[in-house]
Every structure is written in structure tokens, then in C-alpha cells.
Amino acid sequence: MRVPLDGPSAVSGEAVANGARLALDRVHGQIGRFRIVLKEVDDASPSRAQWDPAQTSNDARAAVTDPTTVGYIGDLDSGASAISIPLLNRFGIPQVSPASTAVGLTSNGPGAAPGEPYKYYPTGIRTFARAAPSDTVQAAAQVRLQRSLGCTRTFVVEDGEVDGENMATSFDLAARAAGLEVIATQTFAQRATDYRALASTLASTGANCVLIAAIANSGAQLLTKQLAAAVPSARIFATAGLAESTFAQGIPRTLASRLLITSPALGASAYPAPGRELEAMYARRYGTPEPDAILGYEATNLTLSAIARVTDQGRRQAKRSNVLKAIFATRGHQSVLGTYSITPEGDSTLKAYGVWGVRNGRLAFLKAIDG
């Protein structure tokens, strides 16, 4: 398993790892005669305090050189997955991401960049699947949410990361198709000390809504405050990379009332009974879960279920190729997230995104919305 364990996103990385541990505990770390070991590696570096390309590459190479590797759980960031997928693909290692949602990792449809997704699969065989619905779904959910709240002119800012750029593009396409005007899309400098010049530009556009597509360590907290101050009557929206407690803790009450965040993770109340039970179990063992915790559980559970099926509960040899086929043969899978299938491209068929607010410095689930 590979997640960020340094920087602001470490809270999500640790939550995903905790969710994976609960999935492994469910089978007591054993499938028949096979002992299943979860090897956790950090894809962040102290210097960057977020996912690091060099560390990502090193971690993936370590996985492919280990003959006992039968599956790879990760990544949380689409930019990291863009690096790890080709390396793992060459060795046929099945990969299940909890939350890398960029469209181009699996599809050449609207929102994908030239050459995507084919450049990620040098063998021509798909090896990457994800538990979370893609940014195509998130973009549609954002548009539906914004239109329901009276948005007519939206200004988009993104952090230049793969997730930020991809979501900005996906949103632009979905918005235009739905008749919601996107005034402009602006990339902001990560971790700057002042965003008031950008805020001034925003204020001059007449936007009544703002969408921030970014990760937590990009400077998004300061950016959000300064943009909101420049357009005091506008609604502020954010994408899944900011659905973390470290982002919410710095949001003042005056801004929180205008801020909504979308995430592929829903609140416990929106999940079927197994999901509610898992969230309660997580809380008893680790405390209040970050939204992505349940996605870490399900990505691991999907992989374990595939291993169990192809080995006849541990009676037959565990081959990577067979595990890979089983993951992509997933149909009508009843899970903590609900019932879903994995498409031939590697996407989940789930279509709901959670809408989260900030209450007293904490994330608060408000509702689920279909994309």
C-alpha cells in the first residue's frame, strides 16, 4: 500500500491505511494457506510535504522487484498514479486506487489529455482500477450542485497538479454542456504567501461562484480565504483534494457558511448497513474517520476478494495475472460503498459524490449527489 504519510494529506494517507488494516483484519491476515501482509510505504517526502514523484517511482520499483507482490493499493493522487501505473503495468501487477480520480487514467473521453490513457499501459493490458468514481462523475455532481444554488458564472482556480488540472477541465466541459458559464480557469502558484492579486482579478469578473480544484498542501487554505474575501457574496466550492480535516481546521465560520466540498467518500448515513458498521468500527479503533478511510478499506477488500476467488480460498496458487482478471471481472459486488461493478477500463460504476461542509473547523457530511 502506498499513501502520503508526510504533510497535510498525511491525515488521509493514514486513514486509508487504517481502512486497509480493517479489511485485512476481516480475513485475519490469511486466505487459506496464504498469509497476506500489508506493506505500507510513504509516497511523500519531508521536503515536499506531499506526494513526491521520485519517491513514487522508487516505491513502485520496489514492488515490482518483490516476487511476493500480488497487488498494489494506491495511489491517493492521480499524479502519483500517472507515474506508478506504467511501472506496475510492465510486470502485470494489479493496482487498485482508493481515490485517484483523473479521467485520463482510464479513459480517452472528455477531460483526458492527448495520449491518455494508452500511454499508461505499455503492455496494452489494463492493470489499474479504482474504488472511487472518476472526475467525470465529480464534475457532473459539481455542476448539479452549483446550478441548484443559483450559480450562473463560475471562476475556476486549480493548483497545476494532475488532479487539479483534470478536474478543472472536466468541470469546464460539464458546465458548458449544462449551460453554466465558466468565466475563466486560472492556475495558481502553490504555497505562495499572498493571493490577493488573483483575488482582485476574480473580483473584477463578476463571478458569483468559485471552484477551487487543489490538494491541501498547495496553499489552498490561504487562497480560499483571500478569494472569499474578494467576493463576499459568492459561493465557494472545492474538489475532493480538500476534503481533509487539515484544510477544514483553518476555515473561519464566516467563510464556512459559503463553502461546499465534493468527495467520492460519502458520510456514514448515506452508506448501506455494512458501510455504517465499518465507519462505527473505524471510530472505535482509530477515532473520527477522514472521508477517504472507507475508500482505503474497499480498495483493499476488492483486492482480497479477488485473491480469494482465484485461489479457491487459498487452495490454489496466487498468480498476479489471475488476480488481475478477477478484479476486472467484478460484477454486482456488494460492498461497504454499495453495489458496484468494475468496467473493462477500470472504473467503478458508482455514481454518487458526497457534499461536505465545514462546521466548527470540522468536515460535516451534508448529502450525496449523483453525477
pLDDT digits (tens, 9 = 90+) for 167-201: 999 999 999 999 999 999 999 999 999 999 999 99
The least confident of 5-9, 200-204, 246-250, 287-291 is 5-9
Q: How confident is the model at residue 40 (pLDDT cuts 50, 70, 90)?
A: confident
Q: Is the pLDDT of residue 50 over 90?
A: no
Q: Is the pLDDT of residue 70 over 70?
A: yes
Distance CA(34)–CA(277), nearest Å, equals 27
pLDDT score for 278: 98
Distance CA(271)–CA(288), nearest Å, equals 16
pLDDT score for 6: 60
pLDDT score for 49: 60
Q: Are residues 282 and 219 in the same domain?
A: no
Q: Are residues 109 and 18 in the same domain?
A: yes
Q: Are residues 165 and 234 in the same domain?
A: yes
Residue 180: CATH number of its domain:
3.40.50.2300
Q: How confident is the model at residue 7 (pLDDT cuts 50, 70, 90)?
A: low
Q: Are residues 7 and 154 in the same domain?
A: no
Q: Are residues 216 and 341 in the same domain?
A: no
Distance CA(353)–CA(261), nearest Å, equals 10
Distance CA(122)–CA(160), nearest Å, equals 26
Q: Is the pLDDT of residue 67 over 90?
A: yes
Q: Are residues 223 and 365 in the same domain?
A: yes
Tell me the average pLDDT across 52-71: 92
Q: Is the pLDDT of residue 2 over 60?
A: no
pLDDT tens-digit series, residues 296-310: 999 999 999 999 999
Q: Is the pLDDT of residue 317 over 80?
A: yes
Q: Are residues 144 and 110 in the same domain?
A: no
pLDDT score for 37: 94
Q: Tell me the residue type at 85.
A: I
Range of the domain at 246: 135-266+353-370
Q: Is the pLDDT of residue 216 over 80?
A: yes
The least confident of 1-5, 181-185, 187-191, 322-326 is 1-5
CA distance readout (Å), 6 to 11, 50, 105: 9, 6, 25
Percent of the chain clearing pLDDT 70 (strictly above): 96
* Closest by Cα among 284, 287, 288, 292 to 336: 292
Domain count, the chain: 2
Q: Are residues 286 and 189 in the same domain?
A: no
- What residues contact residue 150 under an 8 Å CB cut-off, 6+ apart? 208, 235
- 52 upstream amide cis, omega within 30 of 0: no
Q: How confident is the model at residue 101 (pLDDT cuts 50, 70, 90)?
A: very high
Tell me the average pLDDT across 349-358: 98
Q: Are residues 121 and 189 in the same domain?
A: no
More confident residue, 31 or 6: 31
pLDDT score for 51: 75
Q: Are residues 289 and 150 in the same domain?
A: no
pLDDT score for 41: 75
Q: Are residues 141 and 247 in the same domain?
A: yes
Q: Are residues 12 and 114 in the same domain?
A: yes
Q: Is the pLDDT of residue 362 over 60?
A: yes
Which residue do the cell numbers 473584477 mark?
204
Q: Is the pLDDT of residue 277 over 60?
A: yes
Tell me the average pLDDT across 210-236: 96
* Closest by Cα among 335, 351, 344 to 303: 335
Contact 44, 54 (CB under 8 A): no
Contact 359, 256 (CB under 8 A): yes
